[in-house]
Amino acid sequence: MDKAALITGGAKRVGKRICLYLAEKGYDIALHFNRSGNEAEETAEAVRSHGVECEIFQCDLSDMNRVGRLVPRVLERFPNISLLINNASVFEDTRFHEITEETFDRDFTVNFKTPVFISKAFSRATKAEHIINMLDMRVGKVETEHFIYNLSKKALRDFTQSAAKALGPGIRVNGICPGPIMRPPGQ
């Protein structure tokens, strides 16, 4: 094993493409998923076809007790991990008057709090070099659709900037703001 990456939400869509891209570049992959077990297995097989190792790690990122055990589990398997990509997110079209404590907590925990604590744990790994947070092109706009999602991604953007300053130059911290992508099924 030469180099390894942890990708949250790596089973499908953008996360899957990230896993496959990194596998092509020679990275072993720690592929996180929550409920997409079948997709995670399929992606893992596709990753392995590039001659690298891939192990899947199930974790509900809305449960901070489980989140606290994710990075140590990954480090046991891939002690040489150098790259973290916080890709997993909750994307719900909750409007302002539809916000509940449950929707607020779920979006902010998965989209903001969890990446903060995974990044903190990852940054203590001896080989840690780079953290990438998947943001959204909306972080520079004021929109009322996907109200809590947008706020949580703006908080993640601000965290990315602060973490870059706190962890640099030893660990680079970047954010990527993808433009329009294919909508998930059912949207």
Residue 157, in any domain of the structure: yes
Q: What sign does the dihedral 122-127-128-130 (CA atoms) show?
A: negative
pTM to 2 decimal places: 0.91
For the segment 53-97, what is each residue's pLDDT rounded down to a tens digit?
999 999 999 999 999 999 999 999 999 999 999 999 987 778 878
What pLDDT does residue 185 have?
A: 63
Are 111 and 90 within 8 A, CB to CB? yes
Q: CA-to-CA distance for 163 and 168, rounded, in angstroms?
A: 8
What pLDDT does residue 180 have?
A: 65
What pLDDT does residue 157 have?
A: 94
Residue 184, in any domain of the structure: no
Are 93 and 107 within 8 A, CB to CB? no
- The boundaries of the domain holding residue 135 are 4-176
Other CB atoms within a 10 A radius of the CB of residue 177 amount to 14
Residue 91, in any domain of the structure: yes
Residue 182, in any domain of the structure: no
Residue 140, in any domain of the structure: yes
Residue 183, in any domain of the structure: no
Start-to-end CA distance of the chain, whole Å, equals 40
CATH number, position 31: 3.40.50.720
Peptide bond into 185 cis (omega under 30): no
Residue 72, in any domain of the structure: yes
What pLDDT does residue 46 have?
A: 98
Overall domain count for the chain? 1
| Rounded alpha-carbon distances, angstroms, from residue 174 to 22, 77, 103 | 16, 25, 27
151: CB partners within 8 A, 6+ apart: 107, 108
